[in-house]
Amino acid sequence: MTDPLKGLSFHTLFDAAADAMLLIDDTGHVVQANPVALQLLDYTQEEITGLEVEALMPPQYRDRHHHYRDTFYGKPEKLSLIHI
């Protein structure tokens, strides 16, 4: 059985994803957004790159998210956004 994803680059898959996705660096800044995220958030790639991810959240979630992000980078694991 052959792997249907073999040969596809990360960026090809990232850009083709049906869900909005952001790449965030370890300081919490947006490195890249896929086309669905750009459309959903009404930003261009140039506008969103470098923004602190918390700037894209409703104010009531921003302070808590700093803690979640710092905890994640200390011990990365799969998280459900429903429980955040």
User: In this predicted model, what pLDDT tens digit does every residue of 26-53 receive, in sequence order?
Assistant: 899 999 999 999 999 999 999 999 999 9
| Distance between start and end Cα atoms, the chain | 39
* Integer Cα distance of 36 and 47 in angstroms: 15
* Integer Cα distance of 3 and 13 in angstroms: 14
CATH class for the region spanning 10-83? alpha beta
Whether residue 32 contacts residue 14, with contact meaning beta carbons closer than 8 Å, is answered with yes
User: Of the ranges 10-19, 22-31, 75-84, which one carries the lowest mean pLDDT score?
Assistant: 75-84
What pLDDT does residue 6 have? 72
